[in-house]
Amino acid sequence: MKLILAIVNNDDSAVVSATLTRENFSVTKLSTTGGFLMIGNTTLLIGAEDDRVGRAKEIIQEHSRTRNKVAMTTGSLGRGIQKDSLEEEVTVGGATVFVLDVESMDKY
């Protein structure tokens, strides 16, 4: 068994998790924040049998779009100094996917 950690854009998370659920994957959604841009994103936890990992990654890739967004250049340095920062267009979205080996999974 594997644990898939997929960091996706908030705007894509609903369709990604709905599609995964429709194909009988179990999904947990966490609200997360990127450490660099300090923009909210969504981390999906998906426990899946090894032979289903490829299909989960296909779904995530298919529904995760990259898009341009205006962000503060000093966003990663904290909100306190944002009044001194410049706006800059950056590319966000797509998906970052980690696949981890699972030692065991129990439900009590």
2, 3, 19, 34: which one binds ligand 2BA (CB under 6 A): 34
Structure tokens at 102: 């699972």
Q: Is 7 in the site for ligand 2BA (CB under 6 A)?
A: yes
Q: Of how many residues is the chain composed?
A: 108
2 or 65: whose CB is closer to ligand 2BA? 65
Does residue number 35 form part of the binding site for ligand 2BA (CB under 6 A)?
yes
Cα dihedral 99→108→13→8 (10° resolution)? -30
63 sits in which H/E element: helix 53-63
**Footprint of ligand 2BA on this chain (CB under 6 A)?**
7, 34-37, 39, 41, 94, 96
